[in-house]
């Protein structure tokens, strides 16, 4: 039996919109929170500009606990928190909350690893000139690591698209839900292929844009 695209097209467009919303919200909110957490991890490490061993240990342990958890397990494990914040464990809003939480911890480690590569001598020189920790962070650390950070965020974008599809498996909406409900469960491989193709295009566009932007920044 053929696929009735007149019926499925509006549903597909809604699914694309849901995926784009989940990914965009995650990259903006999770990206910002992950940047702050990553800077905190780097700054509070021993020898850092805000060295604080107890704080660094707590943050480091928290990131190490959350990061390895597979997203499909993570999204169910934080169900009570999601319900308390969003009011439900199902739907795009609930999935977005879980995506933001997972992305925050993942991005923080990428930020920390990129900041570690900055020459300590440059930071010491800034400190010797009397620059405050906040000034060092905003005018030295982030600008120096901007190119690699863009590449790191591009990698995270691809991962978030993947996680948004996983969220569809438990009622999170988006292209993952569309592919499962109207493709896999109905043995309609054409519908699944369309959903996969859209995801591939989305990822390729983001990867191209991220690589190009990073090259521009690194050339400065």
Domain edges within the chain: 5-218
Token duo for residue 114:
């990129």
In angstroms, the Cα distances linking 121 to 111, 125, 127, 128, 161 are 19, 6, 10, 10, 38
186 pLDDT band (50/70/90 cuts)?
confident
pLDDT at 158 over 70: yes
Specify the CATH number of the domain 5-218.
1.10.3720.10
Q: What is the mean pLDDT of residues 89-110?
A: 90
pLDDT at 62 over 90: yes
Q: What is the mean pLDDT of residues 140-165?
A: 88
41 pLDDT band (50/70/90 cuts)?
very high
Share of the chain above pLDDT 70, in %: 99
pLDDT at 202 over 80: yes
pLDDT at 173 over 90: no
Query: What is the overall mean pLDDT for the chain?
Result: 87
User: What value, to the nearest 5°, has the Cα angle with vertex 15 and ends 208 and 80?
Assistant: 100
**Which residue would you say has higher pLDDT here, 1 or 142?**
142
In angstroms, the Cα distances linking 171 to 66, 82, 158, 189, 208 are 22, 14, 21, 20, 30
Q: What is the mean pLDDT of residues 106-129?
A: 86
pLDDT score for 63: 92
pLDDT score for 87: 86
Token duo for residue 154:
């591009």
Token duo for residue 147:
């190119």
Task: Tell whether the torsion through CA atoms of 43, 47, 51 and 56 is positive or negative.
Answer: positive
Q: What is the largest CA-CA distance in the chain?
A: 74
pLDDT score for 127: 81
pLDDT at 192 over 90: no
């Amino acid at each position: 039996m053929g696929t009735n695209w007149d019926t499925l097209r509006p549903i597909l467009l809604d699914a694309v919109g849901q995926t784009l919303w989940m990914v965009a919200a995650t990259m903006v909110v999770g990206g910002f929170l992950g940047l702050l957490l990553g800077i905190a991890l780097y700054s509070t490490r021993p020898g850092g500009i805000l060295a604080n061993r107890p704080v660094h240990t707590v943050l480091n342990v928290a990131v190490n606990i959350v990061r390895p958890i597979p997203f499909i397990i993570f999204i169910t494990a934080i169900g009570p928190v999601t319900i308390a914040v969003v009011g439900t464990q199902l739907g795009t809003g609930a999935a977005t909350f879980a995506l933001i939480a997972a992305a925050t911890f993942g991005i923080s480690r990428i930020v920390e690893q990129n900041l570690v590569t900055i020459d300590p001598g440059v930071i010491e020189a800034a400190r010797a000139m009397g620059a405050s920790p906040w000034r060092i962070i905003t005018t030295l650390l982030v600008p120096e690591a901007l190119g690699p950070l863009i590449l790191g965020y591009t990698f995270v974008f691809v991962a978030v698209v993947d996680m948004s599809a996983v969220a569809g498996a438990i009622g999170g909406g988006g292209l993952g839900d569309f592919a499962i409900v109207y493709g896999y469960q109905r043995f309609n491989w054409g519908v699944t292929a369309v959903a996969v193709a859209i995801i591939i295009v989305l990822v390729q566009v983001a990867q191209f844009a991220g690589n190009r932007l990073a090259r521009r920044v690194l050339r400065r």
